[in-house]
Amino acid sequence: MRPDPHSYADTGQPQTSSISFDLHVDFELKTLSGEIELRFREPGSGPLDLDTNGLRIAALTSLAGAALKFELARPEPILGARLRIDLPAQTRGVRIRYATSPGASALQWLGPAQTSSGQPFLFSQCQPIHARSVFPLQDSPRVRVTVDSARFTVPPRLRTLMAASFRGRQGPATDVFAMPQPIPPYLLAFAVGDLTSRELSRRSAVWAEPAVADAAAFEFAGVEQMIVAAEKLFGPYEWERYDVLVMPPSFPFGGMENPRLTFVTPSVLAGDRSLVNVIAHELAHAWTGNLITNASLNDFWLNEGFTVYAERRILEALEGRELSELHAAIGRHDLDVALERFRTRPELTRLRTDLAGIDPDEAYSTLPYEKGYLFLRRLEELAGRAAWDGFLRAYMTAFRFQSIDTAQFLGLLDRELPGLSQKARALEWIDQPGIPADAPQPRSRRLEELRSVELPPADVSPTELLVHLQAVRSPTERVLRELDARFGLSSRKSLELRHTFVLLQLRAGLAEGIDGARRVVRETGRMKYLRPVYQELAKTDRAVARRTFDELRESYHPIARAVVEGLLK
């Protein structure tokens, strides 16, 4: 059976339980080449179907070295090419010699001009289904693997970081890692560059190119407190170290929860620690996502909805309810934008989806994050916090190191808190489009104030200011100029604030919005900012939007490029 619509992995065939690989990183050819070994949970025979995308297969043998018959199918648009191997009786695993293609969807190769160090940089981004463009394997999150040995041979002056445990450098330039905890393939992650670190605590450091290392150490100084707060809520941190890697600006996401090593956009370095909720989010994934993983993308809300909920609980524990309510309000605003985007595709506004035949990068939105958050908050409200926190602990224990679907979540909910799911009308939340009428409403006195004043007082926090800006409807030129004069919004380091302000300027028809928009999309490759800014810029002046994108497209990550391309069409 093939239970995952985005993978050829078949549950009737041998299941991979551990892998080892040895790869040579070639910045000239933009390829990785070398060898991977897949070892099975139990010896097996017959067909074995692996996922690949753009891989060139050079040789394929058993672990003992006997040549095996295989067939690489014609590539399918979303899934890639199935690699079918014919396993003789009692096969314990396979060894594959292969190379990636320069266009591998999981990789971005940056030239010296695209980094602050003037050195080249390579990084992977495998979620949701790009691991197959780097490794031939069963690329479904239900197939969890450990990594016995991962070897990267790189240019000697660069260093590899992998989301794994570092075992040392061998010879002139081979970095060796291992990952003893079983992880879904989308969490395989590495970066190669001119990287240096700053210690944050006994179990935590930040990595970055030298020019940003100090700023990063300042921004993330509170990481250890976050880990402590999260452990108090969700149980012990199971991954030993928690490091953060600050990526080059083209990183297409805010953050990525790669185990032991969160990847994060440099746009969170606002200089005032106002965007560290991104770190709280990626850290929370150590429990919700990495310890307990969605079985397929149809249950993606189990990863992201739980993580947004956990992120706000961490913030509440550290900073208080006022602040976590501000974040919930910002989330509600973003949710309304996503609902509008999917007005003609309501099926994508369910929590439990059917993404067969759909490219998950195209379906990606904040919806499973924020609708999932509201659903869990609703359950908490009805159960009461003490009982609900008991459920969270039971959830973390019951499913640790497992990949689960929504039905398994509901099963545990019924056993632990009988009657709650009926009371909350859980199935309406899960299987119906849109947002139920009884959804929780983020509320606080501060929120009311921020939304009703024309000009907030000069001492508001960056998060409060964002709440205010998001609530501004049909701004006048005068109000925008006063906001800019008071808060320096058009030159603000925080792109969270600056891009929101630019959207207001463009909507108000102010000419300086165009220049502001161009600056935002030049400074970052983060899709959260590119999408709305290009969209609004195109509404204002299509030709400028097109020209700007043509200038910048080569600097963007392939996924981001496709997204902007799609909205300028």
Active site residues: 282, 369
Token code pair at residue 284: 């929370």
Which residue is associated with the tokens 């994934």? 285
**Footprint of ligand BES (CB under 6 A):** 127-128, 253-257, 277-278, 281-282, 285, 304, 364, 369, 528
8 Å CB contact between 81 and 166: no
- What count of other Cβ atoms lies within 10 Å of the Cβ of residue 347? 12
Nearer to ligand BES, 6 or 285 (CB): 285
Question: Which of Zn ion, ligand BES, none binds 207 (CB below 5-8 Å, type-dependent)?
Answer: none
- What count of other Cβ atoms lies within 10 Å of the Cβ of residue 344? 6
What is the distance between the alpha carbons of residues 390 and 376, in angstroms, rounded to a whole number?
14
What is the distance between the alpha carbons of residues 349 and 330, in angstroms, rounded to a whole number?
18
Closest approach of Zn ion to the CB of residue 255, in Å: 7
Helix (H) or strand (E) holding 283: helix 277-284
Nearer to Zn ion, 403 or 505 (CB): 403
Nearer to ligand BES, 255 or 462 (CB): 255
Q: Which residue is nearest to ligand BES (CB)?
A: 254
Closest approach of Zn ion to the CB of residue 259, in Å: 13
Q: Restricting to residues 48-77, which ones interact with Zn ion according to CB under 5 A?
A: none
Q: Which residues pair with 62 in a beta bridge?
A: 94
Closest approach of ligand BES to the CB of residue 273, in Å: 14
Nearer to ligand BES, 13 or 293 (CB): 293
Token code pair at residue 482: 């006063």
Token code pair at residue 385: 């916090």
DSSP state, 55?
P
Strands 243-246 and 204-208: parallel
Distances (CA, A) of 293 to 8, 143, 289, 391, 426: 19, 10, 4, 17, 20
| Of residues 186, 334, 169, the one with CA closest to residue 259 | 186
Distances (CA, A) of 457 to 107, 454, 479, 487: 45, 10, 14, 10
Nearer to ligand BES, 128 or 516 (CB): 128
Biggest alpha carbon–alpha carbon distance for the chain:
78
What is the distance between the alpha carbons of residues 346 and 362, in angstroms, rounded to a whole number?
14
Token code pair at residue 364: 């990606």
What is the distance between the alpha carbons of residues 259 and 267, in angstroms, rounded to a whole number?
21
Nearer to ligand BES, 27 or 253 (CB): 253
Closest approach of Zn ion to the CB of residue 308, in Å: 7
Interface region with Zn ion, contact rule CB under 5 A, candidates 124-132, 296-304, 409-417, 520-528: 296-304
8 Å CB contact between 532 and 499: yes
List the end-to-end C-alpha distance of the chain, in Å, as a whole number: 38
Q: Which residues pair with 509 in a beta bridge?
A: none
Closest approach of Zn ion to the CB of residue 307, in Å: 5
What is the distance between the alpha carbons of residues 338 and 347, in angstroms, rounded to a whole number?
13
Interface pattern 304-343 for Zn ion (x via CB under 5 A): x--x------------------------------------
Question: Which of Zn ion, ligand BES, none binds 95 (CB below 5-8 Å, type-dependent)?
Answer: none
Closest approach of ligand BES to the CB of residue 417, in Å: 27
Nearer to Zn ion, 311 or 464 (CB): 311
Question: Which of Zn ion, ligand BES, none binds 287 (CB below 5-8 Å, type-dependent)?
Answer: none
Closest approach of ligand BES to the CB of residue 442, in Å: 16
- Contact status: 290 vs Zn ion (CB under 5 A): no
Strand 261-264: give its sheet, edge to edge.
196-201, 204-208, 243-246, 261-264, 255-256
Question: Which of ligand BES, Zn ion, none binds 151 (CB below 5-8 Å, type-dependent)?
Answer: none
Token code pair at residue 227: 């880990």
Question: Which of ligand BES, Zn ion, none binds 127 (CB below 5-8 Å, type-dependent)?
Answer: ligand BES
What is the distance between the alpha carbons of residues 372 and 206, in angstroms, rounded to a whole number?
30
Closest approach of ligand BES to the CB of residue 421, in Å: 26
Nearer to Zn ion, 158 or 230 (CB): 230
Nearer to Zn ion, 13 or 265 (CB): 265
Question: Which of Zn ion, ligand BES, none binds 494 (CB below 5-8 Å, type-dependent)?
Answer: none
Who's near 482: CB < 8 A, 6+ residues apart? 455
Which residue is associated with the tokens 């489009």? 433
Closest approach of ligand BES to the CB of residue 293, in Å: 11
8 Å CB contact between 152 and 246: no
Residues of this chain that interact with Zn ion (CB under 5 A) are 304, 307
